[in-house]
Amino acid sequence: MKDFAGRFAVITGGGTGMGRELARQLVAEGCNVAMCDVSPEAMAETKRMCEAEKLPQGLRVTTHVADVSIEAHLQRFRDELIEQQATDKIHLLFNNAGIGGGGSLFTNTREQWERTFNICWGGVYLGVRTFLPLMMKADEAHIVNTSSVNGFWASVGLGASHTAYSAAKFAVKGFTEALMTDLRLNAPHIKCSVVMPGHIGTSIVSNSRKIQSGSESEELSPNEILATRQRLKGMGIDTAPMSDDDIQKIALDRARTFREEAPTTAAAAAKIILDGVKAERWRILVGDDAHKLDERVRQAPEKAYTPEFYKSFTDEVGWRLG
């Protein structure tokens, strides 16, 4: 698919981050976009940004509230899309929605763990299941599933458990790689790609906390403050002298720096992804840190979870994670 003009695209998680930038860049190329998110306010802002420049006549940008971990929500999204976009086919499916959290089987609740897993993995699986019939009707189509560097390296550092997100992203990677053969045999006009971003400047840290807590407040709950203390302790930081206000400030600063000091912006990430789709690359690494980490893990997989590996890598790329 060398250009996107006149095509129809579905984007999950279109309210912020890479989803927002994918929508903006696709619309700029003349592609109709239907996006979903759990936040109607965030999607309204994405739509406003898409429409800031005069859209070509007939181009449609629609927003749909949906939790991608719930199949009925995606089915409603699909039905609304068919009606509002006036089409029975789509050409591009970006399974982009995701959250963090639920990192530990020990210190997080089962509900938190499964919330992360069911969005990050279940949303991709259900997204393909839901929209595949509409892609079958297109002359050509492309499925783009967002995994992560945590789809080949299951860590964010020695001081933080990261099991739910990593397990989900490994599942996305394996599913997409297996899907290539399934599509070649049964729907050769549909291609697929797995996207593996490194550290991208998005609001995933703050958004994930809000979704996990069910609150739009920036204030941490007592349980979240305790969890933050545990995370910092795992990183070798003594939190005993710190007040709860100190912990709150650290958490807010972490969310800010993750978004503002990332080596790759969401806009740059979206361009890399769309260029990869046009080039029909099935494996799209996003960011220099992703390329470097991929190379290091392949060179020494047995050492990938040692303190020496992590320190050497973070020193090279300047990561401040955990």
Catalytic residues: 165
| Alpha carbon separation from 56 to 15, 27, 142 (Å, rounded) | 22, 9, 23
The C-alpha atoms of residue 139 and residue 150 are separated, in whole angstroms, by 34
Q: Where are the beta strands (DSSP E) in 50-119?
A: 61-65, 92-95
| Alpha carbon separation from 11 to 81, 188, 209 (Å, rounded) | 11, 22, 22
The CB density around residue 191, as the number of other CB atoms within 10 Å, is 20
SS3 content of the chain, % helix, strand, coil (to 5): 55, 15, 35
The C-alpha atoms of residue 20 and residue 17 are separated, in whole angstroms, by 5
**Beta-bridge mates of residue 61:** 33
* Alpha helices, H only, 187-221: 204-213
